[in-house]
Structure 1
Amino acid sequence: MLDLGWSEMAVIALVALLILGPKELPNALRTVALWVRKARKLAREFQSGVDELVREAELDEAKKTLQSASRTNLNRELEKTIDPTGEVSKAVKPDFDDKKPVAISKAENPPASDAPSSEAQPNKISPKPSPEPAEAPIEAPTSKSA
C-alpha cells in the first residue's frame, strides 16, 4: 500500500492541524476514516471477484478434463494397460467361429411333462423310499399250570 513512515505521518498531521484547526480536525478524521473503510471494502470486493474468476476458470478446466476422461472408453484403456498383446483375452474368450454348433438329440433331452417326475428333472436327486420292516404278529402270553 502506501509507504508512509512515522515522520511523514507527523508532517501530514501537523499540516492538517494548521489548515483545519483544532475544531474541524475530529470531523475531518471521521470523514477520512469513512473513505478508508469504503476503499478497503471496494478492494475486498475486487479481490473476491478476481478470486471467483480464477475459481471459475479452474472449474472450467476441471470440467473439460472430466469430459475428456468420460469420452474415453474405460474398458478399452484397461484392456490396453493390462493386456497390451491380447493374449489373455484370447485365452479367456474362445473363438466361436471355428466351432460348429452341436445338435442335441431327443434321447438326451426328453420332453418335459406337466407333472413333475424324477425322469424329467435328472439334476434333482429324489430320495428312494426305504422298505418298511414286516410286522411280526404279537403273541399273547400263555400261562402253563401244572
Structure 2
Amino acid sequence: MFDIGATELLVIVIVAVIVIGPKDLPLALRTAGRWMGKIRRVSGHFRSGIETMIREAEMEEMEKKWREQNAKIMAEHPAEAAEPAESTEPTAAPAAESRAEPPASPPEADDQPKLPLGKPGSE
C-alpha cells in the first residue's frame, strides 16, 4: 500500500528529529505506535466482520442450491421417496436392551478365596 523506501524513511526521521526534537521524539513515537495499533485492531475487526458476512452469504447460496438439487432429485424419483428404505441399522428395541443394567456376576466369583482383613504384621 505505502511504498516507503530507505531514503524516504531517513528523510522522515531527520524531519521528525528537527521538528519534534530529540527530547520529545520517544514520546511522539510511542503515541504514533499506539495510534497505529488502534488502527490495525479496528481494521482487523472490520475485515473479519466483512469476511463473516461473505461466508454467510455463500452458505445461503449453497443451501439454496442444495435445496433446489434435492427438490429436483425428489421430483425425478418420487416412487423411491414414498417407499421406506430398508435399513441395516438395528431397531430401537436392541438399543434399549443395551442400556439395561449388566447381568449379575456369575456364581463362580463367590467361590474365590477371601484374604484376611487384619493389619499387616498382626498375624
With the length of structure 1 as denominator, give the TM-score of the two structures.
0.49
Shift of 1:4: 0.4
Residue 41 of structure 1 corresponds to 41
CA distance in 2, matches of 1:14, 1:78: 80
Q: Which residue of 2 aligns with 1:93?
A: none
User: Aligned-pair distance for 1:69?
Assistant: 2.4
After TM superposition, the structure 1 = structure 2 runs for residues 66-105 of structure 1, keeping only pairs within 5 Å, are 66-74=66-74, 76-77=76-77
Write out per-residue CA displacement over residues 68-115 of structure 1, whole angstroms, 9 at most, x where no aligned residue.
Answer: 123235373498xxxxxxxxxxxxxxxxxxxxxxxxxxxxxxxxxxxx
Matched AA of 1:62: M
Number of paired residues? 79
Amino acid at match of 1:39: I
The change in CA–CA distance for 1:72 and 1:35 in structure 2 (over 3 A counts) is same
Q: Structure 1 or 2: larger helix share?
A: 2
SS of match in other structure, 1:41: helix
Could you say which structure has the larger radius of gyration? Answer: 1
- Aligned CA-pair RMSD: 2.0
Higher relative CO (Cα under 8 Å, sequence separation at least 6) belongs to: 2
Stretches (4+) displaced over 2 A: 69-79
5 Å-filtered alignment, 1:1-146, equals: 1-74=1-74, 76-77=76-77
TM-superposed deviation, 1:5: 0.5
Kindly provide the amino acid, as one letter, of the partner of residue 11 in structure 2. Answer: V
Identity of aligned residues (%): 37
